[in-house]
Amino acid sequence: MNTWHADFDQSDTLMHCDIAIIGAGIVGMVAGIELASRGYQVVILDNKPMPTAKSFADRLAVRDARVYALSQGSIRLLAEIGVWSDIVRRADYQTMQVWARDDYGELLFDGSQSHEILGSMVEPSVLDAALWQRSHHCSNLTVVYEAKLMEDGMAFDESSDGITIRYHHQGVARQVFCRLLLGADGRKSMVRRAMGADISQLNYHQKAICCAIRTDLPHRQIARQVMLPTGTLALLPMADLQQGDEGRWQSIVWTLPCALADDYLADYHRDPQTLQRRLAFASGYALGEVHEIESVASFDLSAQVTEHYARGRMALIGDAAHGVHPLAGQGLNLGLSDVAALLAVLDTAKGKQLHPRSLQKYARAVRSHNALMMHSFSMINFAYASGIADLGIVRYARSEVVHAIARSAPLMQLLIKQANR
């Protein structure tokens, strides 16, 4: 069984719905649950295997090296669909400290005086499990796993009143007819290709090393990011997995030039303690020595953005529309802000009509904000990790800008507001 819905008939080869979503990742699932809660009939299609209670139990039994840095805006969206209260394995943080190893001045974003959190670190497995559980309680939502879209331009057929989606499921050719189609199918989006939407790409020629580490000192609900000549190093607080953790586990995202990252990884595979020592030194021993390291992985870094968020009855959300540098951990937050913007447009549509005009309004609402965030991350990365980053005048200018921002309370609040949109 790899489909669920209260009224779904496995023998039925044609389903009708208001909105179809390609991709059952976090952004797609949040969008589906939100839309279903508003009374829309929603179908989500995904080609990955159907998760089970056992598969989630296995994932949750281990520490996931990567975490999502959820903003207040993302938390509000998850609370709205009844998911946030179910997530107890999380690391809320009240302070974010950003500094450069070779400059003076630092940025300290602090919510402790107002007793508010800046955000929360949640492992992907924890969020996936919570959304999967919640989706079972949505009577208007059908999720189909192991759904393989037809290739060669045959998957989508748009007409004046809707879109027909063709796919194979359990060896049977099936179809979904929907009024609107959302692509939440990641950076290699088939929906985006069907739209004929070009993308602009930027290769950073960098690689991120991710892992979980146990440190001498506890994180104390502080997210830390140090800007190094080779790239950024983020030390993100993790929730305790078992008794005795005592807040000493951190999620690491270390951005490095590709060749250097490969050298560090090769050294790690020969002797894991080499990476532990390098991480402690690179962080300036902010949390003391590194005593354990788990789940080391790496991925190449690039950014991309689509030129068209919507066309006809199709629209893109999340990574299908944009992919950003992991600097500041805003990738998922941007995707969830797409969902919030789309919901705001649909909520104000006359009679909740599902018309292509609504998708164009959504595109106008998100395009400029997402472009600003994407280019801001790229500029910060360039300022600290490009070929000119070590020039004295560049280091001086960086330090003066950081020092000026840190002294301006309104500007600091504006930065927090933008991040929590």
Run means of pLDDT, 10 residues per run, the chain, 421 residues: 46 87 98 96 96 95 92 95 95 88 69 75 96 94 96 88 95 95 96 94 90 96 90 94 94 95 97 97 96 94 91 97 78 94 90 86 89 65 54 50 49 51 57
pLDDT at 151: 86
pLDDT at 315: 98
Q: Mind listing the domains of the chain with CATH numbers? A: 3-379 (3.50.50.60)
Q: Is residue 247 a contact partner of residue 131, using CB atoms and an 8 Å limit?
A: no
pLDDT at 403: 43
pLDDT at 8: 47
Q: Is residue 370 a contact partner of residue 341, using CB atoms and an 8 Å limit?
A: no
Q: Is residue 142 a contact partner of residue 151, using CB atoms and an 8 Å limit?
A: no
In angstroms, the CA 385 to CA 226 distance is 12
Q: What residues pair up with 156 in beta bridges, in sequence order?
A: 165
In angstroms, the CA 169 to CA 184 distance is 19
Could you tell me how many residues make up the chain? 421
pLDDT at 396: 42
| Segment holding 217, helix H or strand E | none
Q: Between the CA of residue 418 and those of 135, 163, 203, 368, what are the distances in Å?
A: 30, 35, 25, 13
114: tokens are 């107002």
pLDDT at 105: 62
Listing DSSP states for 108-166 in one string gives EEE-TTTT--SEEEE-HHHHHHHHHHHHTT-TTEEEE-SEEE-STT-SEEE-SS-EEEE
pLDDT at 4: 47
